Chain A
Amino acid sequence: MQAKVNVRRFNPDEEAPKPYNQEYQVEVEENFTVLDTLIKVREEIDGSLALRCSCRASICGSCAIRVNGHAVLACKTRVSEHLSEDDQVSIEPAGNLPVIKDLVVDLNPFWDKIRAVEPYMQPSLPEPEAEYLAPNDVMLHLVDVMGCIMCGACVSDCTVLEVDKNFLGPAALAKAYRFVADTRDVEDDKRLRMYNAYGGMWDCTRCGECVTACPKGVAPMERIMAMREKAIEAHTPTGPYDGAAYGYRHSLVFEDLVSHSGRLNETILLVKTVGIFNLPKLIAMIPIAMNAAFRRKVPPLFHPTIPGVGQVRRIAARINASKREAAK
């Protein structure tokens, strides 16, 4: 079938370069991947089309691009599944990174963030003669995270990076988790403190884009959540970033409220999260609270108990008791 491949291009050799669209008509087979298609364009139609690619087998991580607005690995994406009714597909460079040329983006900010999480083993010393012992289930658990091929698809579509380039981002934080979860690396406390800082694990907005974008099942967001759980459990100090402190409290207060009353009371949650003695923050909320109160949509501080609240309380108590047992 004939596909209309619309590519967002950029030629830095121009006088005053600006992004522009170019459409290529190319014959594609049923089993063609987006990469096969772009390589065909490059080899037979327009040799100036620049894109990174190498292995064709979703292991090198070179070919992350946006197809119809969402990040994918080109060599893993069947083009026929993404053609519109009139056989059109739109190709753009990965998002959240500066464009060098056509589909080639500047990955230096990406590598900088990987570097920032101290992405290397910090085991207990001295080193043993033979191997460090490690249970196989720990190693197997890490295979998925270690399966990250550094393609940048997650970073491309991250909604936080879109508004704040200081966020470490899903790839770096997933890499961070890889060390926190490796029993041989003994710097968990230091690491969790590091990742509690501004731009770290608490700045993830839990939107799930990175989980969807990742071609290797790394699920960065889940790893970030797992690190949050670890940090809370380990009572890792939150450090200077108040976002982390709010994050901890938000999680704990949420659990507390739901365990106790079965429902979430946004007013109490908000107040307890920022802290009842946090006058500056509370005062800043007054205008909105008043607006809401005026429209009678502020949940009351005490609201009626739900039917069956006893069930909820007992269930929560039971679960927390067995959690404490397991921790011993």
Chain B
Amino acid sequence: MKFAFFPGCVSRGGAPELYQSTIAVAEKIGIELEEIEGWSCTGAGALQESNPLLGDTLNARNFALAQRMGLPIMTICSTCQGVMAQAKVKLEDDAYRAEINEILATEGLEYNGGIEVKHMLWVMVEDIGLEKLRTLAVKSLDGIFLAPFYGCYIVRPSAALEYDEHPQRREALELVIEALGATPVDNDGKTRCCGFPILTINEKNSLAMVAKHTGEAQDLGADAMVTPCPLCHLNLDGFQSKAAKQMGKQINVPILHLPQVIGAALGMDGPTLGLNKHIISTFDIAMKMGVRI
């Protein structure tokens, strides 16, 4: 199983623990990752606000590079996944793709349509399979309560994300959590917004969202939250204390990246998974999961 690996800007910037745990887990499970050379930012929806054509072209370039490698793309960020899925749909239009290919041609690149872009979360469910995941989980996460938090871009719009063709995607996080032996904690906020896009615009609202969702998870008895999006992670983890203060509530919920949870079940240690790089301490959850710090 080999993928053209698309790490995304944040896993190479503000969330290095995501990158390192992904590499470690992929190796252990037997997913071969070949990083796309020269990949660029997808635009994250923000670029698409001011220059949609540039956004589509840069993504077409990423797709073209992957096609040259002859491999499907694997992402580890909900936002990258969503933006790429939407770009893919737009680029299925022959006339539009031809227009963009004219620009790419000047750089010796061409995108032929039909690229497959899958988030690691879906790879776990659809390519590895839940059964295999169960057998790979040497450490029992039994008794661990994890609240899933998807990240808007991996949930909406569901058509671009091919939810009809792959209905399990609707609850992929819960399925993976269960396969690893832990108990998913259903929460109202799981498909809602973490507030990251308005962090600089309206910090008050952004933090209100963080407090709402982390507070809810805590009230429901979650030991930690799990998210497949490093942007959500930045907000929910990095700004949790400030959010809690704004709300006037005591909140202390560790936020885990998806590969960190998988890695824990595979028996990996804290340093490998980058658990020491979180703002909200992961000490307690690491202890509960039996992860060597």
Q: Do chains A and B touch in the complex (CB under 8 A)?
A: yes
Write out the residue numbers on chain A whose beta carbons fall within 8 Å of the beta carbon of B103.
315, 318-319
Would you give the shortest CB distance from B167 to chain A, in whole angstroms? 12
Write out the residue numbers on chain A whose beta carbons fall within 8 Å of the beta carbon of B113.
none
B109 to A, closest residue via Cβ: A311
Specify which of B54, B201, B212, B276 is in contact with A243 (CB 8 Å cutoff): B201
Would you give the shortest CB distance from A22 to chain B, in whole angstroms? 21
Query: 8 Å CB contacts to A: which residues of B1-35?
Result: 9-10, 12-17
Write out the residue numbers on chain A whose beta carbons fall within 8 Å of the beta carbon of B39.
306
Specify which of B43, B192, B198, B239 is in contact with A203 (CB 8 Å cutoff): B198
> Is A112 an interface residue, CB under 8 A from the partner?
no
Cα–Cα distance between A35 and B162 once the two chains are bound (Å): 28
Specify which of B104, B107, B157, B198 is in contact with A208 (CB 8 Å cutoff): B157
Would you give the shortest CB distance from B250 to chain A, in whole angstroms? 18
Cα–Cα distance between A160 and B205 once the two chains are bound (Å): 7
One digit per residue, 1 when the CB lies within 8 angstroms of any chain B CB and 0 when it does not, for chain A 309-328 equals: 10110111011100100000
Cα–Cα distance between A318 and B58 once the two chains are bound (Å): 12
> Is B220 an interface residue, CB under 8 A from the partner?
no
Known: A211-B156, A295-B277. A263 touches B201 (CB 8 A): no
Contact yes or no, B192 A159, CB < 8 A: yes
Write out the residue numbers on chain A whose beta carbons fall within 8 Å of the beta carbon of B188.
69
Contact yes or no, B49 A229, CB < 8 A: yes
Contact yes or no, B13 A266, CB < 8 A: yes
Query: 8 Å CB contacts to B: which residues of A252-274?
Result: 252, 254-255, 258-259, 262-267, 270, 273-274
Contact yes or no, A255 B158, CB < 8 A: no
> Is B135 an interface residue, CB under 8 A from the partner?
no
> Is B61 an interface residue, CB under 8 A from the partner?
yes
B102 to A, closest residue via Cβ: A318
Cα–Cα distance between A255 and B155 once the two chains are bound (Å): 25
Write out the residue numbers on chain B whose beta carbons fall within 8 Å of the beta carbon of A107.
none
Contact yes or no, B58 A258, CB < 8 A: yes
Query: 8 Å CB contacts to A: which residues of B214-264?
Result: 234, 238-239, 242
Contact yes or no, B50 A252, CB < 8 A: yes
Contact yes or no, A307 B37, CB < 8 A: yes
One digit per residue, 1 when the CB lies within 8 angstroms of any chain A CB and 0 when it does not, for chain B 42-72 equals: 0111111111111001100100000000000
Specify which of B14, B38, B208 is in contact with A298 (CB 8 Å cutoff): B14
Would you give the shortest CB distance from A213 to chain B, in whole angstroms? 10
Q: How many interface residues does chain B have, given as a range?
A: 35 or more
A211 to B, closest residue via Cβ: B157
> Is A76 an interface residue, CB under 8 A from the partner?
no
Specify which of A69, A247, A252, A315 is in contact with B201 (CB 8 Å cutoff): A247
Would you give the shortest CB distance from A325 to chain B, in whole angstroms? 13
> Is B41 an interface residue, CB under 8 A from the partner?
yes
Cα–Cα distance between A311 and B188 once the two chains are bound (Å): 44
Known: A208-B156, A292-B14, A292-B279. A263 touches B41 (CB 8 A): yes
Number of chain A residues close to chain B: CB under 8 A? 62
> Is A283 an interface residue, CB under 8 A from the partner?
no
Contact yes or no, B200 A319, CB < 8 A: no
> Is A46 an interface residue, CB under 8 A from the partner?
no
> Is A216 an interface residue, CB under 8 A from the partner?
no
A166 to B, closest residue via Cβ: B205
Known: A205-B198, A207-B193. A319 touches B51 (CB 8 A): yes
> Is A49 an interface residue, CB under 8 A from the partner?
no
Contact yes or no, A308 B278, CB < 8 A: no
> Is A209 an interface residue, CB under 8 A from the partner?
yes
Contact yes or no, B50 A229, CB < 8 A: yes
> Is A291 an interface residue, CB under 8 A from the partner?
yes
Known: A311-B107, A319-B51, A319-B103. A212 touches B158 (CB 8 A): yes
Write out the residue numbers on chain B whose beta carbons fall within 8 Å of the beta carbon of A163.
205, 208-209, 212
> Is A175 an interface residue, CB under 8 A from the partner?
no
Write out the residue numbers on chain A whose beta carbons fall within 8 Å of the beta carbon of B195.
205
Write out the residue numbers on chain B whose beta carbons fall within 8 Å of the beta carbon of A314.
106-107
Would you give the shortest CB distance from A310 to chain B, in whole angstroms? 8
Write out the residue numbers on chain A whose beta carbons fall within 8 Å of the beta carbon of B57.
315, 319
Cα–Cα distance between A252 and B107 once the two chains are bound (Å): 25
Write out the residue numbers on chain B whose beta carbons fall within 8 Å of the beta carbon of A291.
238, 279
One digit per residue, 1 when the CB lies within 8 angstroms of any chain B CB and 0 when it does not, for chain A 265-304 equals: 1110010011000000000000010011001111100000
Known: A164-B208, A297-B16. A207 touches B192 (CB 8 A): yes
Would you give the shortest CB distance from A217 to chain B, in whole angstroms? 11
> Is B197 an interface residue, CB under 8 A from the partner?
yes
Contact yes or no, A270 B107, CB < 8 A: no
Contact yes or no, B205 A203, CB < 8 A: yes
Write out the residue numbers on chain B whose beta carbons fall within 8 Å of the beta carbon of A160.
193, 198, 205
Write out the residue numbers on chain A whose beta carbons fall within 8 Å of the beta carbon of B43.
254, 258
> Is A250 an interface residue, CB under 8 A from the partner?
yes
Of the listed residues B48, B49, B104, B158, the one surrounded by the most CB atoms of chain A closer than 10 A to its CB is B49
Instruction: Give the 3 A-B CB pairs with smallest separation, nearest first.
Output: A308-B38, A208-B156, A299-B13
Add 10 more A-B contacts to A307-B37, A315-B54 (CB < 8 A): A160-B205, A163-B205, A163-B212, A164-B208, A204-B198, A266-B9, A267-B13, A311-B107, A311-B109, A319-B57
13 pairs, CB–CB < 8 Å, chain A vs chain B: A164-B204, A204-B198, A207-B193, A225-B48, A228-B49, A229-B49, A232-B50, A255-B51, A255-B54, A264-B44, A297-B17, A315-B104, A315-B107
